[in-house]
Structures are given as C-alpha cells and as structure tokens.
Structure 1
C-alpha cells in the first residue's frame, strides 16, 4: 500500500474528473490532468478517490482515498500536494490514477445551469408526451451542447441528438429525472 493512500471504496455518487500526470518537483507533488476546464471541484475537495487507469501509460494500480494538503495553478497546469507523500518516488507511483470526487464536492450550479453528469440517464419527452429517449451522453460542439439520446426503433437501439439550448429544451426537472423538449421524433 502506498504511503498517504487510505484504503476505501468509491462512493456511489463519485464522478471521474481527471487523472494524475507526472511527478512535479521532489516533495511529493504531481500534475493533474482535468477532464474539462471547470476545475472548481478539484480545488474544493479535500480528498480524492483514485482508481487505476483503464488504458495508456500508468503506474498506479491500487484503489484508495488521497487526502490533499494543497492544490494550485502553476503556469498553465494544475499541481497538487497530497498529505502523507513527501517525495518524488511517492508521486511517481500515482501516475495514471483516475481521480474521482464525490458529487457533494461540486459547487452548486447556477439557475438554469446543469452538470452533465446530472443529465445523463434522464428521460426526455416532447411537448406531446412522446418519449424521445434517455440521455446517454452530451457533446460539446463549440457553439452549443448537444444531448445524445438512446432509444429503441423497430426493436433496435438508435440514437437521436437534440441541441441543449432554450429554443428546444423547455424544462429540466432533476428531481423527476425528466427533460421536456420542443422536438419531434421525425426531426
């Protein structure tokens, strides 16, 4: 077991937010490679849950909870200093670990804004009450985000895309796990 890493299980509400890159310096710090540009949760969380990388360059092979002493911006990247890891060798042993945070570590979203992770799995219906499918993924296309829906057509899995903009999305009800859209099945 790596010093500084506490054995644990992944929380049910865990969300993958990035991975650990190379060691940074000689005092146990490492670079963080976030999955997106919204990094507030990485800075707010005092503990990160780590799992091994699924593929690619990796060193880390355990599962555990890492307590953070400090997370900060350095140049154009993010670096972190964990508690209990005091040298470069310890930081190098974490390389490739996937970073998960509890959903409770995320800052509250603003009115009309949603975390993508909260939208995945929601049922999408149109104004006429017709099922459009279930949100499987979201795509960032530059000017807008697009909902990627999964539904069944003639007994086979099919995909539908709907722009996630106010012109087409009437209401998002996270409590009811539903999205109401102005969209037709033949679009």
Structure 2
C-alpha cells in the first residue's frame, strides 16, 4: 500500500532536494539536499512530490546524515519495494513555510528571474541563478530580449558595492557594473 496522499498543490512550490534511491531494507531513502546546511531539508516535516497524477504530500518520519550524504524515513513507507515509487522525485516545500528573513536578506529563489540594470539604466539581462564561491555569492546574469548584448555576466553579490537595489515587487535589481566587463 502506498503512503502517497493526493493533495492540492502548494501555493508556491520550491525545490529543496531530491529522493535519489532506496537505502537499506526498511524503506529508508537517500536524499540530495539543496538547502544550506544540507541538513536544513529536515527542518520541513511536510514535503511535496510532483508526480504524473498530480501533487502528493509526504511526511518526514526521521532523517540523519549517513557518511557524506543524507538518509530519511518517510511515514507510511516501511518496505524498500514500496519506497521505490518515490525515488527520483524532486522534494518541494511551500514557500510560505520558509522562515522570515531580516530586511535586506533574500532567498536565492526570490532573486532568480529579476531584471538586472546598471545604475545608468543599461539592461544587462535577467538573474538566471546564483552561485556560492566562498568569498561571496555570485549573481549569474544572462542576456534577455532588449539587453545590452548577448553576454553572460558574473556579478559578485555584495550589497551596496555591486548590488545597489533589489525590488521584488517590480522584479528588478540595480547594479553598479560596467556593461563592457
């Protein structure tokens, strides 16, 4: 018997990880986490899976680190053959379940898709993703229709130095960046 429950879709789904494979014989699974730290995925007890038949909600029973990875037990799954049906699925949470941030702080997912212009008003493109580099995060800006050129730019995410303004309502970011660079 499957533990998947048909559910209405989350208001705004955000991928936080992936169920990669079966672990052991008691229905545990191996996980890949997109959260920082990676164990942050366990902060959310209700996960969503997008299946061919719609959204399914599952509940985390317990999770832990195992070697350099993560493993989890899902409520209702106690057999490796049954748990195979959810292997390979992305794990989503509802954005409304994310903790509130301080003013001026943003989740990466909030920045993706923002239109990026220089302080002089030159359109550079849109934020396609962010990368962690150690010293600081980097905004990856890809060209879009009407942009200055077709170049991809890597702009350090350093507020008040390179990132001058982020406006989520207008989906815009203003940067201090030379379009020729």
* TMscore range, shorter length: 0.7 to 0.9
Q: Does 1:162 align with 2:161?
A: no
How many corresponding residue pairs?
178
- State the Cα deviation string for residues 3-23 of structure 1 (Å, max 9, x = none): 110123543511112111232
Alpha-carbon distance between aligned partners in 2 of 1:168 and 1:103, rounded to the nearest angstrom: 27
Alpha-carbon distance between aligned partners in 2 of 1:110 and 1:6, rounded to the nearest angstrom: 35
Alpha-carbon distance between aligned partners in 2 of 1:140 and 1:86, rounded to the nearest angstrom: 37
Q: Does 1:143 align with 2:143?
A: no
Alpha-carbon distance between aligned partners in 2 of 1:104 and 1:72, rounded to the nearest angstrom: 24
Name the counterpart of 2:10. 11
Q: Which runs of 5+ in 1 are unaligned?
A: 53-60
Q: Once superposed, what is the RMSD of the aligned Cα atoms?
A: 2.8
- Contact residue 164 and residue 176 of structure 2 kept, 8 A: yes
Q: 1:40 to 1:78 in 2, by over 3 A?
A: closer
- Secondary structure of 1:151's counterpart equals coil
Alpha-carbon distance between aligned partners in 2 of 1:101 and 1:154, rounded to the nearest angstrom: 33
Alpha-carbon distance between aligned partners in 2 of 1:104 and 1:20, rounded to the nearest angstrom: 22
Alpha-carbon distance between aligned partners in 2 of 1:40 and 1:170, rounded to the nearest angstrom: 32
Alpha-carbon distance between aligned partners in 2 of 1:139 and 1:69, rounded to the nearest angstrom: 31
- Secondary structure of 1:90's counterpart equals helix
Q: Which moved more, 1:117-126 or 1:70-79?
A: 70-79
Q: Does 1:126 align with 2:125?
A: no
Alpha-carbon distance between aligned partners in 2 of 1:141 and 1:88, rounded to the nearest angstrom: 38
Name the counterpart of 2:45. 46
- State the Cα deviation string for residues 79-118 of structure 1 (Å, max 9, x = none): 2221111222222332211111111222233454322111
- State the Cα deviation string for residues 118-176 of structure 1 (Å, max 9, x = none): 10111222222333322122233343322222234689754333221232112222233
Q: Return the TM-score normalized by structure 1.
A: 0.77
- Contact residue 39 and residue 70 of structure 2 kept, 8 A: no
Q: Which runs of 5+ in 2 are unaligned?
A: none
Q: Does 1:82 align with 2:74?
A: yes
Q: 1:116 to 1:107 in 2, by over 3 A?
A: same
In the TM superposition, structure 1's runs of 4+ consecutive aligned residues that sit over 4 Å from their partners are 153-158
Q: 1:32 to 1:95 in 2, by over 3 A?
A: same
Alpha-carbon distance between aligned partners in 2 of 1:108 and 1:40, rounded to the nearest angstrom: 19
